[in-house]
Amino acid sequence: MGLGLNGGGSASARFFAEAGAEVTVTDLRSEEVLKPSIEALADLNLRYVLGRHDIADFRNADVVIKNPAVKPGSPYIEAALSAGAAVETDISVFLQQNLRPVIAVTGSKGKSTTVSAVHYVLKQVYPDADLGGNITVSPLTFCSDEKNSSGSPVVLELSSWQLADLAGRNLLKPAAAAITNIMHDHQDRYGSMQDYAEDKAVIYEAQPAGSILLLNADSEYTESFALSAPSKVVMIFPKKDFETISTGADVASGVYFDKAGRGFWLEKGEAVKILDTESLLKGMHNRINLLTAAALLYSIGLDPAVIRKGLTSFPGIAHRLEFIRNAEGLDWYNDSAATIPEAAAAAVESFSCPLHLITGGTDKDLDFSPLADAVSGRVTAPESVTLLQGTGTDKIVDLFEKRNIKYYGPFGSLNEAVDNVLKIAAGKKSGQAAAVLSPGCSSFGMFKNEFDRGDQFRELVRSL
């Protein structure tokens, strides 16, 4: 249920078809929209129901594999359950088959960079290590008896929706887990922030007592997570320095930066350096992601020297402050995965050179004050702000006008937005400057998803 374009539905269809099941693929979107996914499955004998769902398909199914985006209370899911069908996801199916140690990460922002950094270093020690989940790679693509026998770790990025489908099932038992942060997100789907945080907490609900849970000490829900976790909690202190940690009576252990920006794991009075200052990534938020990755790797027994060396060369990932190229006198960055205001604010604060910001899009019932604060900051204020059209942009415009913040647009396409940046930059003094797409909003309406938005932006910049 829900073929989609990001791989999860396709992987599920292939996994079950190759296992001998009679598979029906059903999606509310049209064949034209889903063409890339359908073409990838052309070698399989599948039945398609597209542009609609038929209730009979759910009543007659033995198993329904639902896309995480399918909302609770779906009448089709209820019909399947009433008829005795099992309702699963690609994650739950994988976890029922998997025998390998799992490292799991969730959070509002930073999880994709964190898991990718963990996987990057793991591959240097365990060549068969795999990465999947919300990062658009279904774990069913590497689910096999052969992989199980390798014993190499699996890294899973998990969204709140994916975790909600695992609640109470005792399937997810990560040897090490992390919640990067909890920020206001998906409030168009959740009734409250508490509901959202409770879904995130599923990541540790079935952890064994000896496993590790890393929590951001500066995050709002960390105290409640720490009190309810059955595992060993280790705090990450992104804003405290070495002296505070090592001499403070309130902290006996934790993960932190010293004044030089190096990362340490402190336990029983011994501080172990797990992160050097050298990095290919921009921004303090990415330094915290790397520190979290280093702590996860150290918690499962990797050598600190291997961790430090590996993370120094980690190149980052697409759509997260991804450097594209220098063109027309500007360094261009794709930060399309910044889908909440706090993420766009972090992008703005990552640049010390003159910055031209492209932002805006579809609202998820969020507060855009963090973005307005960053844009109006005395130190980080961009040279220009160019807006893309959308319901979120309408709220941004209201905030900007109340604060007398200058902006351009809103524009109805990326082409128009980029042309506007080029026009403004051409009238500025020469020297190092940057342009970044960091929307702080969802992409729907103008794009298929945030990855499509970032891909279009990257190709547009490459064509300059």
Do 300 and 335 fall within a single domain?
Answer: no
Do 266 and 328 fall within a single domain?
Answer: no
Instruction: Confirm whether 240 is domain-assigned.
Output: yes
Residues 282-287: what's their mean pLDDT? 93
d(CA 81, CA 247): 56
> CA distances (Å), 68 to each of 53, 96, 330, in order?
16, 17, 39
Residues 69-82: what's their mean pLDDT? 92
Do 449 and 377 fall within a single domain?
Answer: yes
Rg (CA), the chain: 23
Query: Which residues share a beta bridge with 140?
Result: none
| pTM as predicted | 0.88
Number of domains composing the chain: 3
Residues 366-388: what's their mean pLDDT? 89
Boundary residue ending a domain (40, 69, 88) = 88
Report pLDDT for 379. 65
Do 150 and 284 fall within a single domain?
Answer: yes
Instruction: Confirm whether 126 is domain-assigned.
Output: yes
Is the confidence at residue 186, as pLDDT, over 80?
no
Do 105 and 129 fall within a single domain?
Answer: yes
> CA distances (Å), 124 to each of 127, 138, 142, 270, 416, in order?
6, 22, 18, 27, 43
Instruction: Confirm whether 2 is domain-assigned.
Output: no
CATH code of 365's domain:
3.90.190.20
Is the confidence at residue 157, as pLDDT, over 60?
yes
Concatenated DSSP letters of 237-260: ETT--HHHHHH-TT-SSEEEE-TT
Banded pLDDT at 443 (limits 50, 70, 90): confident
* Residue 281 one-letter amino acid: L
Tokens of residue 459, six digits: 């190709």
Q: Range with the lowest mean pLDDT among 83-97, 145-159, 229-243, 362-376?
A: 229-243
Give Cα 363 distance to the centre of its chain: 18
Tokens of residue 144, six digits: 């096999």
Do 298 and 172 fall within a single domain?
Answer: yes
DSSP three-state, residue 103: strand
Instruction: Confirm whether 3 is domain-assigned.
Output: no
Q: Range with the lowest mean pLDDT among 207-211, 351-355, 396-400, 425-429?
A: 425-429
Q: What percent of the chain is modeled with pLDDT above 90? A: 83
Tokens of residue 16, six digits: 């079950």
Instruction: Confirm whether 174 is domain-assigned.
Output: yes
Do 403 and 425 fall within a single domain?
Answer: yes
Do 304 and 397 fall within a single domain?
Answer: no
d(CA 299, CA 305): 14
CATH code of 134's domain:
3.40.1190.10
Boundary residue ending a domain (270, 294, 312) = 312
Report pLDDT for 268. 84
Instruction: Confirm whether 1 is domain-assigned.
Output: no
Do 242 and 131 fall within a single domain?
Answer: yes
Is the confidence at residue 295, as pLDDT, over 70?
yes
CATH code of 68's domain:
3.40.50.720
Banded pLDDT at 248 (limits 50, 70, 90): very low
Give Cα 312 distance to the centre of its chain: 21
Do 201 and 343 fall within a single domain?
Answer: no
* Residue 117 one-letter amino acid: A
Instruction: Confirm whether 224 is domain-assigned.
Output: yes
Do 273 and 151 fall within a single domain?
Answer: yes
Is the confidence at residue 217, as pLDDT, over 50?
yes
Return the H-helix or E-strand segment holding 133.
Answer: strand 130-133
Report pLDDT for 185. 61
Is the confidence at residue 244, as pLDDT, over 60?
no
Domain that holds residue 450: 322-462
Report pLDDT for 247. 47
Residue 417 CB contacts under 8 Å (≥ 6 apart), including other chains: 358, 386, 387, 388, 409, 411
Q: For residue range 38-58, what is the model confidence (pLDDT) as tens digits? A: 999 999 999 999 999 999 999
Instruction: Confirm whether 130 is domain-assigned.
Output: yes
Q: For residue range 409-441, what is the model confidence (pLDDT) as tens digits? A: 999 999 999 999 999 999 876 678 999 999 999
Boundary residue ending a domain (37, 66, 88) = 88
Give Cα 269 distance to the centre of its chain: 34
d(CA 215, CA 226): 8
Banded pLDDT at 381 (limits 50, 70, 90): confident
Do 187 and 229 fall within a single domain?
Answer: yes
